[in-house]
Structure 1
Amino acid sequence: MELIEVSGKHLIDDFHKVPELIYRNDRNWIPQLRMMIEDTFNPDKNGRFQKGDAQRWILKNNGKLLGRIAAFYDDDYSSGYDQPTGCCGFFECVNNEQAAFKLFNAAAQWLKEKGMEAMDGPVNFDENFFFWGLLKDGFRPQTFGMNYNPPYYNRLFEAYGFKTYYDQYSYSLDITNPDLPERFWKIAEWVAKKPGYAFEHFSFKNQDKYLRDFIEIHEKAWGGHGNYKPIEFQLLKDLLSNAKIILEEEFIWYAYHNGKPIAFFMQILDFNQILKKLKTGSLNFWQTLKLLYYRRTKAITRCRVIVLGVVPGYQGKGIESAIFYHLKKVMLRKKWYNDMEMSWVGDFNPKMNAMFKSFGANRTQTHCTLRYLFDRDKEFVRAPIIE
């Protein structure tokens, strides 16, 4: 077996060919957008290279592709744990432990040389909205940005020595369903009309203002968690710019109290419903035209909630319900959207999981973030629970 560092167009092409080989007979698989992955590994488009680095490999045997992996770290992520922690991701491999271990070893050795003492995976060298976690159950076509993998990947990671750092749960909800709990909507309407509270959706025209409001909410809502990582304005703006095609302004909501931002909600379009029709993640001129055609003909019927956060002091007061009250009006007007996936919520966040269940949402799948400690004698500790 030959391990090859990825550099140059030919090897980058091979990197993207690996999943095509792994999933060629899997009807559930939907190709990831090549340009999105390449932006992840482009220092000019991914600000994490300012405080970190990344490397990719492919694995071949007699010229035949067997697998791929990437390793990466950035100071903001690595410094947030008991030991400096790097990451691996974009792992794809044939059902062969020797091949998988060779890929894991390459990532681990590279991270050790960078001063890391642990490796999380499979995750992304970007925000955890996209390509984060190993699928454990719910093997069906995934929504946009959610990882998919064959069931045997769980065995390969476990055999190497990875352990679950936390589970990630996803839920499904039809917000227009008249059978949703009546109490939920009564609370939602009451909060939505309370004096001093205001609810408004995002607009690209005033995006800088809304991005700063999001950063303020994000810091207050998640800052107390041990795994909190601050988000920089420019990184967020770059992410927004690259994601325009999967966004609708009326699907991104803010809540304010006396003019201060207190809550944020964001759902994206399930772009995978179009990629499944295109059967490729590499978009040429004609594929792009088809993409725009499907986008305009309402081929997307599902959305994916990626963020819902309320600052302390306003949690448990029905703010989330009030946001859904306003969002429901949008969904009723745009009736072709009939499914909402809420993904993902860590098992370390029992309050958020309980809240989604109270909405009448059904849990549909589980991913997990795994950790491998380089010191095999060190005690393994799971992610702390958010109180």
Structure 2
Amino acid sequence: VEAVGEHVTRVAPGDHVVMSYMFCGECYLCESGHPAHCVHVGPINFGERDRWWGLQVSGFQEPLYCMNYNPPYYQQLFENYGFKVYFHQICYTMKVSERPSEKFYRRHAELSADPNYRSQMIEKSNLDKYAKDFTYVYNKAWAGHGGGKTLEEKTVRKMLQKMKPVLDEHICWFIYYRDEPIAMWINLPDLNQYFRHLNGRFGLIQKIHFLLLKQFGKCSRFLGLVFGIIPEFQGKGVDAFTIIEGANVIKKRMKYEDYEMMWIGDFNPKMMNIAESLGTRRSRQLSTYRFLFDQNKEFTRHPMLN
């Protein structure tokens, strides 16, 4: 049921009239002479995949910061119209108090014995350095997939400056080998735990309220945004070293109760394996859909990452 002004419109999951309005861009593109290999992809954000991406299909608890939320019947609306799953987006959660698998501690101990490995919390006073390190790790770790898209250092510098007011230095980590950045684990507090008190507004009064909440309020959950290791150090235990280095500090502070990873695509089995081996549980799932204008063409899912 959708409220529109003073009227209430009842929407059935198989209502193709409603769906035609929702996806009327298809008709426009077809009438404009666009090639039949065009596809609808959605629901997605006009930007990167790190926010507002995908249709929620399970785990309808309170939404995370920058994550889509929709009524459950939207899944049937999309699928009845002809959309097919391009890839699933899996979220994982665990209690901060829970101890990761023992194999993480064993691998951590092995790398800790090598003085060439070291960890470093991010420092707000030196964001230019971490922008450079972030760019280096990201471009080496992700340039081989996702269309080969790379980031520019100036873009990352601007991003970190925007994040600075809400960054918690204790939950953002870089790993170095002989001073070369080789891995990063970037997290944020779940800002929705603050924003839910602002009634959907962010004027001057709400900004002051937000700063007070951030300073004196409680945020019990932090979110995993980025976890990456450069190819030369994958499969060497750097994942375990990174997680245990961070966990040792995060647990001692006793600030957070829950940890949740934003989402991992099911085309990335290596990262899913790391998440599951930590002892996490699946908390929610989203899906990215595609609709082929030419229904006679073969539908293929997102290619798997090596």
Q: Which TM-score applies when normalising by structure 1?
A: 0.71
Could you say which structure has the greater relative contact order, defined with CA pairs below 8 angstroms and 6 or more residues apart?
A: 2
Letter in 2 for 1:343: M
2:130 to 198, 207, 210: 210
How many angstroms does 1:274 deviate by?
1.4
**Which residue number corresponds to residue 204 of structure 2?**
285
**Which residue number corresponds to residue 105 of structure 1?**
24
Other structure's SS at 1:165 match: strand
1:173 aligns with 2:105: no
2:68 to 142, 147, 162: 147
How many angstroms does 1:272 deviate by?
0.7
Spell out the pairing of 1:1-387 with structure 2 (5 A cutoff).
97-106=16-25, 109=28, 117-178=38-99, 180-225=100-145, 227-280=147-200, 282-387=201-306
Whether the 8 Å contact between 2:86 and 2:301 is mirrored in structure 1 is: yes
How many angstroms does 1:64 deviate by?
5.8
Aligned counterparts of 1:275 and 1:99: Cα–Cα separation in 2: 32
Whether the 8 Å contact between 1:176 and 1:328 is mirrored in structure 2 is: no
Whether the 8 Å contact between 1:134 and 1:154 is mirrored in structure 2 is: yes
Give 5+ residue unaligned stretches, structure 1.
Answer: 1-20, 25-59, 67-92
How many angstroms does 1:193 deviate by?
4.2
Letter in 2 for 1:291: F
Other structure's SS at 1:375 match: coil
Aligned counterparts of 1:322 and 1:106: Cα–Cα separation in 2: 48
Letter in 2 for 1:198: R
Whether the 8 Å contact between 2:96 and 2:256 is mirrored in structure 1 is: no
How many angstroms does 1:268 deviate by?
0.9
Aligned counterparts of 2:30 and 2:246: Cα–Cα separation in 1: 43
Aligned counterparts of 1:227 and 1:65: Cα–Cα separation in 2: 43
Other structure's SS at 1:336 match: coil
Deviations 1:239-258 (A, max 9, x none): 33333343212221111112
Whether the 8 Å contact between 2:26 and 2:293 is mirrored in structure 1 is: no
Distance 1:313 1:161, change over 3 A: same
Deviations 1:117-136 (A, max 9, x none): 22211111222111111111
Deviations 1:94-152 (A, max 9, x none): 96542342121137736996968222111112221111111111111121111111011
Whether the 8 Å contact between 2:170 and 2:250 is mirrored in structure 1 is: no
Other structure's SS at 1:243 match: helix
How many angstroms does 1:182 deviate by?
2.6
Distance 1:193 1:109, change over 3 A: farther
Letter in 1 for 2:109: E
Distance 1:286 1:175, change over 3 A: same
How many angstroms does 1:65 deviate by?
9.2
Whether the 8 Å contact between 1:137 and 1:367 is mirrored in structure 2 is: yes
Distance 1:294 1:187, change over 3 A: same
Letter in 2 for 1:118: V
Letter in 2 for 1:128: R
Other structure's SS at 2:69 match: coil
Letter in 1 for 2:126: N
Q: Which TM-score applies when normalising by structure 2?
A: 0.88
Other structure's SS at 1:98 match: helix
Letter in 1 for 2:58: D
Aligned counterparts of 1:260 and 1:108: Cα–Cα separation in 2: 52
Report sequence identity in percent: 32
Other structure's SS at 1:177 match: coil
Other structure's SS at 1:268 match: strand
Deviations 1:39-60 (A, max 9, x none): xxxxxxxxxxxxxxxxxxxxx7
Deviations 1:283-331 (A, max 9, x none): 1222222211211124211011011111112112221211122212331
Q: Which stretch shows the higher mean deviation, 231-240 or 360-369?
A: 231-240
* Number of residue-to-residue matches in the alignment: 302
Aligned counterparts of 1:165 and 1:271: Cα–Cα separation in 2: 29
